[in-house]
Amino acid sequence: MKLQKDKYIKMEILEKQKLIKIIKDTFEKKLSKQLDLTRVSAPLLVTKESGLQDDLSGVERKVSFDILKDGKELEIVQSLAKWKRMALKKYKFPLHKGLYTDMTAIRRDDKMDETHSIYVDQWDWEKVIAKEDRSISYLKRTVRKITKAVYETCQYLKSKGFVQLEICKDVHFITSQELLDLYPGTTDKEREYLITKKYRTVFIMQIGDDLSDGKPHDMRAPDYDDWELDGDLLFYHELLDMALEISSMGIRVDKTSLLRQIKKAKKEERLEYSYHKAILSDQLPLTIGGGIGQSRLCMLLMGRAHIGEVQASYWDKDTLAECKKLGIELL
């Protein structure tokens, strides 16, 4: 952990909890206004055969169990990327309107460090778009609106004397290939750090497909984001001197991009799921959507050194020992 000790301001646990509530309430209102979203309730559990589970990079193990009633095996969601698109149709959302929800998940294979936890909490959102909206320009406009919601939340906190943080509201856009060309011979995380430290607020586009070095910038499931129209939103976290990913989002696959990406990933068996069949038969709306980390946003805006300062989760002995040594009190 690269903690800038001279910049770390300790907070009492109750003070943290009160500020977390203020941040979440404020940001929700600003996000829903910027993107024209309505809050809905969402599931914690899905069945495997529904095809609604998010496979993330495709290797993470799901948390599953059978129930007493009928022996059906259920899985705890890893995200709601696919469920939201189905919900937009079910709830009959009109063009350019959308939904957001509080998503909680368990990712048992996630590493534990200052920004990662096996417990995931985020605002999952999804919005109906038109065919002509499936473009880089529309993606960029949406990213700027989300960034504006973050910036306005920060400004509100500053006006109330809660924080003294500066957030850069101007987003620097760059594709993952352009980033590799700019910093050859580096890892994806090293590149993210270098570009984000320079520009403070960065959106890295087109993540999932192989780059010129034969590897993707980061792994993406082939059946929700269009790899040519997606990306990650990063903010520079000065306290930890790192690039902090706040959101992963994108314009979702249509029939053409779904088939292309499924074939490339060699996951053709998924085309038998009801979700995938609905896309191939044009039964689902075209959408844009993503997830925005609740704890990550609180960590950024509150100037916290560890995600465990803003969420109650499980931590291993090494994490607990390191935080105690640095004087970091976890929830």
pLDDT digits (tens, 9 = 90+) for 106-148: 888 888 889 999 999 999 999 999 999 999 999 999 999 999 9
The catalytically annotated residue of 54, 75, 121, 192 is 54
For residue 246, pLDDT over 90 is answered with yes
What are 199-240's pLDDT values in tens digits?
Answer: 999 999 999 999 999 999 988 889 989 999 999 999 999 999
Q: Is 248 a catalytic residue?
A: yes
The catalytically annotated residue of 78, 79, 117, 122 is 122
The catalytically annotated residue of 107, 200, 220, 296 is 107
For residue 280, pLDDT over 70 is answered with yes
CB atoms near residue 60 (< 10 Å)? 14
Residue 255: its pLDDT value, please?
96
DSSP letters spanning 210-235: B-TTSSBSS---TTSEEEEEEEEEEE
The catalytically annotated residue of 192, 225, 245, 254 is 245
What pTM did the predictor assign? 0.92
Q: Is 238 a catalytic residue?
A: no
For residue 59, pLDDT over 90 is answered with no
What are 62-82's pLDDT values in tens digits?
Answer: 888 888 888 888 888 877 888
Residue 133: its pLDDT value, please?
98
Comparing 45-49, 120-124, 150-154, 324-328, which segment has the lowest mean pLDDT?
A: 45-49
Mean pLDDT of the 143-160 span: 96
The catalytically annotated residue of 78, 248, 257, 311 is 248
Q: Helices 136-159 and 294-302 sit at what angle, rounded to 10 degrees? A: 50
- Give the start-to-end residue ranges of the domains of the chain: 5-326
In percent, the amount of the chain with pLDDT more than 70 equals: 97
Q: Is 75 a catalytic residue?
A: no
State how far the Cα of 242 lies from the Cα of 331, in Å rounded to an integer: 22
The catalytically annotated residue of 223, 232, 254, 309 is 232
Burial of 260 (0-12, 13-18, 19+ CB in 10 A): middle
Q: Is 107 a catalytic residue?
A: yes
State how far the Cα of 63 lies from the Cα of 24, in Å rounded to an integer: 27
Residue 57: its pLDDT value, please?
61
Residue 53: its pLDDT value, please?
73
State how far the Cα of 36 lies from the Cα of 14, in Å rounded to an integer: 33
Residue 58: its pLDDT value, please?
62
The second-level CATH assignment, the architecture, of 5-326 is: 2-Layer Sandwich (3.30)
Name the 3-class secondary structure at 38: strand
Q: Is 294 a catalytic residue?
A: no
Comparing 50-54, 127-131, 185-189, 324-328, which segment has the lowest mean pLDDT?
A: 50-54
Per-residue tokens: 74: 């259920």
For residue 270, pLDDT over 70 is answered with yes
Q: Is 122 a catalytic residue?
A: yes
